[in-house]
Amino acid sequence: MASPHINDGRWWGIVKNPGPFFFIDWGLWPFYFFSVGYGYVSSNLVDLLTKPEFLAERASQLLFGQPVKTGRALRGYLKVTLPDGYLGWADARFLSPMTAQEFARYAANLNSFVKASTAAVYNARSRRPTAPFFVYYGTRLFTKRAKEGYARVILPGARSFLIKRGNIVPIKRESVRTVTGKMLVAEATRFLGVPYLWGGVTTAGFDCSGLVQTVLARYGINIPRDTKDQIRVGEKVERECIKTGDLLFFKRHVGFAIGKGRIIHSSAGGGGVRINSLTPDKPDYREDLDRDFNQARRVLCCS
């Protein structure tokens, strides 16, 4: 069967097993037929993969409501681009399409950050639990104040649900100058014991750069997703000048400094979020980190 779109690759995301017999994946038509090019995550957590394959490596994760630009469709996955330019493939079943105008308006209106490890969501009328049932720490939402201790979460297409106001904090980018290193470390210590997960960005599992990015985002500080890009953020500081809250970089690893001699990080070798020392005579000393120390970067104007 010939198609005028066969050469740009998108057709193969719509038609499964092309040949004498095929079926159409109708779930992708909103993205393909109307060339929407924009969407948001409709599940509380979706893996962002390096390839459009079920067993592909996890590059990162997308949280509920995350606005994305959508591109090529292939084998039930969509190529997506995050607002910071990060790329990957996401299962199309968990992305809802929206127009360019809706995308711009929605992305600009994200005004709340989920501060609870997980926060339940409720039907706006019945106040009963509703899909996605809960959202993770770090989820950014467009909310409006509602009655009885709730906030109304507004989604494109006039859909909405409720979340308890005590589980969210406002995103106030103008208050970044008041953030201190001690605040960052205190926030990170909330997650001590959370397991390590490659590509993880939630309280179900963090990788090293995911922990750093998510904690900074809690205070309106946005940095790239991966360690190789995070190392370009802020100002380099000498090792003897390290302060609490500085970012410490090692060989393919990153964490927050606690003073000059300790680090809080999500460690694959350590099993998850933990505190270690870079001082040889301490019981939690990590010789490998001490040896592989690369540099420290300061992302705050005051620590």
pLDDT means per 10 residues, the chain with 303 residues, are 31 36 46 65 98 97 97 95 94 95 94 97 95 97 93 91 96 80 97 98 98 96 96 96 97 94 96 96 94 96 57
Give SS3 for 263. strand
pLDDT at 174: 60
Domains in the chain, ordered, with CATH?
A: 6-98 (2.30.30.40), 110-170 (2.30.30.40), 173-298 (3.90.1720.10)
Tokens standing for residue 3: 């198609």
Helices (DSSP H) in the chain: which residue ranges? 11-14, 29-32, 100-109, 181-189, 208-218, 227-230, 287-291
Helix residue spans in 110-164 (DSSP H): none
CA atoms within 13 A on the CB side of 201: 26
Which of the residues are catalytic? 208, 253, 265
Residue 182 has a pLDDT of: 96
Q: Which residue has the tokens 């190529």?
A: 79
- Distance CA(114)–CA(137), nearest Å, equals 5
Q: What's the pLDDT at 91? A: 97
Neighbour-count burial for 92-104, b at 16+ CB within 10 Å, e otherwise: bebbbbbeeebbe
What dihedral do alpha carbons 84, 88, 117, 125 form, nearest 10°? 90
Q: What is the value of pTM for the model shown?
A: 0.86
The pLDDT assigned to 82 comes to 94
Cα 300 off chain centre by: 21
Residue 43, token pair as written in the block: 């599940």
Q: Which residues pair with 79 in a beta bridge?
A: 89
Query: What pLDDT was estimated at residue 6?
Result: 27
pLDDT at 56: 98
Rounded distance between C-alpha atoms, residue 198 and residue 178, angstroms: 32
Res 27: pLDDT? 52
Provide the angle, in degrees to the nearest 10, between the axes of the packed helices 181-189 and 208-218: 120
pLDDT at residue 155, rounded to an integer? 94
Q: Output the pLDDT for position 24.
A: 42
